[in-house]
Amino acid sequence: MTATDATEPGTGPADDTSTDVAPAHRHPKAHQRAGRLGRWIDSRTGIARVGRGALNKVFPNHWSFLLGEIALYSFVVLLLTGIYLTLFFDADSTGMTTYDGSYGPMQGVQVSEAYNSALEISFDVKGGLLVRQIHHWAALVFVGAIVLHLCRVFFTGAFRRPRELNWVVGCTLFMLAVVNGFAGYSLLDDQLSGTGLRIGYSVLISIPVIGPWLGSLIFGGNFPGDDVIARLYPIHILVVPLLIIAMLTVHLTVLIRHKHTHFPGKGARDDNVVGERLWPTYVFKAGALFFCVFGALALLGGIAQINPVWLYGPFRAEDVSSASQPDWYMGWLEGALRLMPGWETRIAGFTIPNPFYAGVVPAAIVFGGLYAWPWIERRVTKDHAEHHVLDRPRDVPWRTAIGVGVLAFTGVLGFAGSDDVLVVTFGLSVNQAVWFFRVALFALPVISGFVAYRLCIELQRRDGPPPLPTVPVPDTETDGSAGTQDPALVGDAGGGQRHDGSDPADA
């Protein structure tokens, strides 16, 4: 197996007559099949346009472009396992029942229908625990892959014009994923998730003016509220998943329309894409990756216990357990709550409670900053040009430094959110740890940002003079990039246009 490199013109006229020359030489059989398939589709649906466009789509062959795909496939796994779980779950936290399933130490305990069905899934439904665990592991990996993907896009400047819209869509997907994760593990009505909901409630009602109203809207009264699980359930299984699917559709459509970015390198210009064609190479790689993701998650679900709600017990408002942590992606907000000194302010007769500063403000700043970043950066650089060739992180040291600083900031908060576990593990004192984290919260982003900045400069210095400028060179469009030494790197016929004229975000 060798890589089939191909370049794709920025915007080949969709109805041009270009054929995919390179794979024809290399995989005659596959090409014939692809051709027949294409004609078949065309004669019946007339989507040759779409079909050819899609099959010829070129994917850059860099590992970091697959991070988003890991997220996508985790989402597919979440959908599949989630559907199975809905068959057995009962989102009723007010109706009580006497547990009589096969988990001995809980037999005879009065539990809610929701908790009862969670135990049933874990102990009495065929494959229930496995599916439940895969679902939960998939959620953790899903958000993790999104964060990595987001980092890749950020540090390489892939959000620059014309991709601002997709950046915004991506940030929204990130937020939806976090929200749905929280909603998901809150459904089970166990002691741990109840503790999380209690914190969520106190943060929610701390929002000035609308907070209390939102609180009673979602919880159906003061905490614990009768309705919260019944309301989170449709949000978790229907509303947010549909929103995610809609956003994904936009995300991928825009991606196809814009075509991929690619790293600077041989043949890479702002008006082409260097990589592998969708058919056949990429399809097989993507398919393989899907099964790897599914396999890894199934393996985790099968061999590593996650969220043993039978030990946490049913939620009782008056009980708590020590070491109550949220899932990892909420950890930084938990950390902010733990580190925040007990401030409270009164403005114009309103008391702004402490959780507002610790829970709402940091989230608003981080997500607001994320959303606004393309415009913030443009303000600084005054760079309004389109970019399809990526920056390497070292190429824009100040952006890299800021990104590293923000990661350090949220990272410190995340560790602070598990301070009680860490101090027991390392034999420290909680109070020392809080002060350590408070100092680190401000010191570490500055230090790590500075180090990142110096590192970028140093790497640049080692690179020597900057690489060739990556401006479009229209006259070498057709085969110029391929004509040098590598026969595998084939220019697509009919190119020559700019990458993509439209700019949805600016429209």
Partner 1 sequence: MRSSRHLVLVALAAVALAVGVVQGTAGAGESGGAGDTTSGTSQADLVAAGEQLFLTSCISCHGVDGVGTPNGPPLTAAGEANADFMLRTGRMPMASSDVQPPDKPVAYTDTEIRQLVAYVGSLGDGPPIPQLDLDAADVTNGGQLFRANCAPCHNASGIGGALSYGRHAPSLQETGLEQVAEAMRVGPGQMPRFGPDVLTDQEVNDIVAYVDYLQNPDDPGGLNLGYTGPVAEGFVALVIGLGALMLVIRWITRERRAAGAREGAPDA
When asked if residue 11 is in the footprint of partner 1 (CB under 8 A), the reply is no
Q: How is 165-221 classified by DSSP, letter by letter? A: HHHHHHHHHHHHHHHHHHHHHHTT-BHHHHHHHHHHHHHHTTSTTTHHHHHHHHHSS
When asked if residue 145 is in the footprint of partner 1 (CB under 8 A), the reply is yes
- Taking the C-alpha atoms of residue 389 and residue 197, their distance in angstroms, rounded to an integer, is 44
Supply the minimum distance, in Å, between the C-beta of residue 469 and partner 1: 15
When asked if residue 326 is in the footprint of partner 1 (CB under 8 A), the reply is yes
The one among 64, 470, 476, 497 contacting partner 1 by CB under 8 A: 64
When asked if residue 322 is in the footprint of partner 1 (CB under 8 A), the reply is yes
Supply the minimum distance, in Å, between the C-beta of residue 141 and partner 1: 5
Supply the minimum distance, in Å, between the C-beta of residue 210 and partner 1: 29
| H or E segment and range at residue 96 | strand 96-98
Which C-beta is closer to partner 1: that of 380 or that of 426? 426
Supply the minimum distance, in Å, between the C-beta of residue 138 and partner 1: 9
- Taking the C-alpha atoms of residue 223 and residue 92, their distance in angstroms, rounded to an integer, is 16
When asked if residue 2 is in the footprint of partner 1 (CB under 8 A), the reply is yes
Supply the minimum distance, in Å, between the C-beta of residue 306 and partner 1: 5
**Segment 440-499, which members bind partner 1 (CB under 8 A)?**
none
Could you tell me which residues come within 8 angstroms of residue 429 by beta carbon, excluding any fewer than 6 positions away? 423
Select from 360, 295, 313, 350 the least CA-distant residue to 137.
295
**Segment 404-423, which members bind partner 1 (CB under 8 A)?**
418-421, 423
Supply the minimum distance, in Å, between the C-beta of residue 103 and partner 1: 7
- What tokens does 474 get? 């229209």
Could you tell me which residues come within 8 angstroms of residue 194 by beta carbon, excluding any fewer than 6 positions away? 224, 315, 316, 317
- Taking the C-alpha atoms of residue 488 and residue 144, their distance in angstroms, rounded to an integer, is 35
Q: Where would I find the beta strands (DSSP E) of 330-478? A: 345-347, 350-352
Which C-beta is closer to partner 1: that of 73 or that of 356? 73
Q: How is 381-402 classified by DSSP, letter by letter? A: H---S---BPPPGGGSHHHHHH
Q: Binding mask 100-139 vs partner 1 (x if CB under 8 A, - otherwise)? A: ---xxxxxxx------------xx-----x---x--xx--
Stretch binding partner 1 (CB under 8 A), from 228-236, 252-260, 325-333, 370-378:
325-333
Which C-beta is closer to partner 1: that of 109 or that of 214? 109
Supply the minimum distance, in Å, between the C-beta of residue 283 and partner 1: 13
Supply the minimum distance, in Å, between the C-beta of residue 445 and partner 1: 20
**Segment 358-397, which members bind partner 1 (CB under 8 A)?**
390, 392-393
Cα within 13 Å of Cα(57), Cβ side: 19
Widest Cα–Cα separation across the chain: 80
The one among 14, 217, 376, 430 contacting partner 1 by CB under 8 A: 430
**Segment 286-315, which members bind partner 1 (CB under 8 A)?**
288-289, 292-293, 296-297, 300, 302-308, 311-313
| Phi/psi of residue 275, nearest 5 degrees | 170, -145
**Segment 199-258, which members bind partner 1 (CB under 8 A)?**
none
The one among 194, 215, 331, 335 contacting partner 1 by CB under 8 A: 331
- Taking the C-alpha atoms of residue 162 and residue 221, their distance in angstroms, rounded to an integer, is 46
